[in-house]
Amino acid sequence: MTLLDFARGPALQWSLIILVAGIVWRVLGAILLSTRKDLSTPRRKSGLKDGMGTIASRSLPASAFEKRIRFQHITGYAWHLALFVTVLFFGPHILFFESILGFGWPNLPNGVVLFAGAIALAILIALLIRRATNPVQKLISNADDYISVIIVMLPLLTGIIAFAHIGARYETLLAIHLLSIEAMFIWFPFGKLMHTAMTFPSRFQAGTSFGRRGIKA
């Protein structure tokens, strides 16, 4: 079995199994935990509106801090947008998803995707340097933060290298790229990358429980 066959076959299969099992485990575990009955009398009926409202309000910078967190805000949005374009709209990526999900969608020109990938990588490197040098960030960062950033950075880096055919044979570069993604799949449920699945449900939950207590947030 070649390295590429391993990356496309058993490594992909097992990393996906760990990814799916891990996500279901953590999401379900969190949902089942939060069902304790609240015995207090609600201030008002809360529901969808509060939940969605908090998702929206937390997605914008809080006005009190706006000036101080503008950098994180802009880079955060730019990074996620660039990542989505790179991951979801590169032709070969869509074929990869199609082999897992059973359906595909139209792709963007490679030039656009490459540009987005380079932007995403550059932002991530900048954020990593900032995390490692800014005294406050340094203080609040743990190993999970660094691992999560680096494990997302590697697929971007190896992807660009594979696209440009630099340094080794294409089949080796492609295999390394796939293996780096599979490493991310395995890490995903156990670290901060889980925010992908948790962010919006937890904002929604916070919104409804604040609503119940009559807080607008």
Would you count residue 166 as binding other proteins (CB under 8 A)? no
Near other proteins by CB under 8 A: residue from 26, 58, 131, 192: 26
Q: State in angstroms the smallest separation of the CB of 32 from other proteins.
A: 3
Cβ proximity to other proteins, 49 vs 165, nearer residue: 165
Residue span binding other proteins (CB under 8 A) among the ranges 21-29, 63-71, 149-157, 199-207: 21-29
Q: How many whole angstroms separate alpha carbon 150 and alpha carbon 191?
A: 12
Burial-class residue 120 by CB neighbours within 10 Å (0-12, 13-18, 19+): buried
Would you count residue 164 as binding other proteins (CB under 8 A)? no
Q: State in angstroms the smallest separation of the CB of 211 from other proteins.
A: 25
Q: Which residues contact 36 (CB under 8 A, 6 or more apart)?
A: none
Q: How many whole angstroms separate alpha carbon 13 and alpha carbon 134?
A: 39
Q: How many residues bind other proteins (CB under 8 A)?
A: 45
Near other proteins by CB under 8 A: residue from 107, 141, 202, 205: 107
Q: State in angstroms the smallest separation of the CB of 171 from other proteins.
A: 4
Q: How many whole angstroms separate alpha carbon 163 and alpha carbon 179?
A: 15
Would you count residue 201 as binding other proteins (CB under 8 A)? no
Nearest Cα residue to 113 out of 83, 94, 79, 90: 90
Residues 71 to 90 in contact with other proteins, rule: CB under 8 A = 90
Would you count residue 113 as binding other proteins (CB under 8 A)? yes
Token pair, residue 192, equals 């901060």
**In which element (H, E) is residue 50 found?**
helix 48-58
